[in-house]
């Protein structure tokens, strides 16, 4: 199988993290999220981690350039030689363009952008259920709606970005976890 470079897209609560974890386990690929990358660099006290910490401590988003540098550093590790799954990155078109440029310098490109979507009320209900189950007080209906608005404005444009490149694959995320995963696995095997 050729190297798989997969980008998982979809609004919060749509189940992309669940699907990415299942696919990563079955295909033995690293499941990479920017949150995990930030935590790793902070723990190891790297220069990139110290720079990210300055923004995080100030309550600011880590700038695109620094986020891209952190991701490129992560995907350069030996465990990514056969491929990897990016979950939560890129977060906007600027990051997508930077990822493409960095991959092109390595003679690589995104194999597929896998977009998971569901009706907004389904997503809100899932997040509310997760909040109740996990005791997450930050997932109120108001904050969820705000996160969805931010997703639509910042990350939503990645769907046409990857569609234009011919690598976008869309999934209806309203089925069961196993139903969605069956469709996902079949699609990945056909790449």
List the structure tokens of 156. 């939503």
Query: How do beta strands 4-9 and 112-117 pair?
Result: parallel
- Beta strand spans in 29-155 (E): 31-33, 83-87, 112-117
CA distances from 79 to 14, 55, 111, 136 (A): 27, 29, 17, 32
CB 62 within 8 A of CB 88: no
Tell me if residue 81 falls in helix, strand or coil: coil
Residue 91 catalytic?
yes
Which residue among 136, 145, 146, 165 is the active-site one? 136
For 172, the enclosing helix (H) or strand (E) is strand 168-172
Which residue among 53, 82, 130, 185 is the active-site one? 130
Which residue among 51, 120, 147, 163 is the active-site one? 147
SS3 content of the chain, % helix, strand, coil (to 5): 60, 15, 30
The Cα–Cα gap between 174 and 8 comes to 16
Residue 16 catalytic?
yes
List the structure tokens of 40. 């790793």
Instruction: List residues with catalytic annotation.
Output: 16, 91, 130, 136, 147
């Amino acid at each position: 199988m050729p190297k798989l470079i997969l980008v998982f897209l979809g609004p919060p609560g749509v189940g992309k993290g669940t699907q990415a974890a299942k696919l990563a386990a079955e295909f033995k690929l690293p499941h990479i999220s920017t949150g995990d990358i930030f935590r790793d660099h902070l723990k190891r006290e790297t220069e990139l981690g110290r720079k990210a910490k300055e923004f995080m401590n100030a309550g600011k988003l880590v700038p695109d350039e620094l986020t891209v540098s952190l991701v490129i550093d992560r995907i350069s590790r030996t465990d990514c030689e056969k491929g990897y799954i990016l979950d939560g990155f890129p977060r906007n078109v600027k990051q997508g363009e930077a990822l493409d440029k960095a991959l092109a310098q390595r003679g690589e490109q995104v194999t597929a952008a896998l977009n998971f979507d569901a009706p907004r009320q389904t997503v809100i209900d899932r997040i509310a259920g997760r909040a109740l189950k996990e005791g997450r007080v930050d997932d109120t209906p108001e904050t969820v709606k705000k996160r969805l608005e931010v997703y639509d404005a910042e990350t939503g444009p990645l769907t046409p970005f990857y569609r234009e490149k011919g690598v976008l694959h869309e999934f209806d995320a309203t089925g069961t976890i196993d139903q969605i995963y069956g469709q996902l696995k079949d699609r990945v095997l056909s790449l």
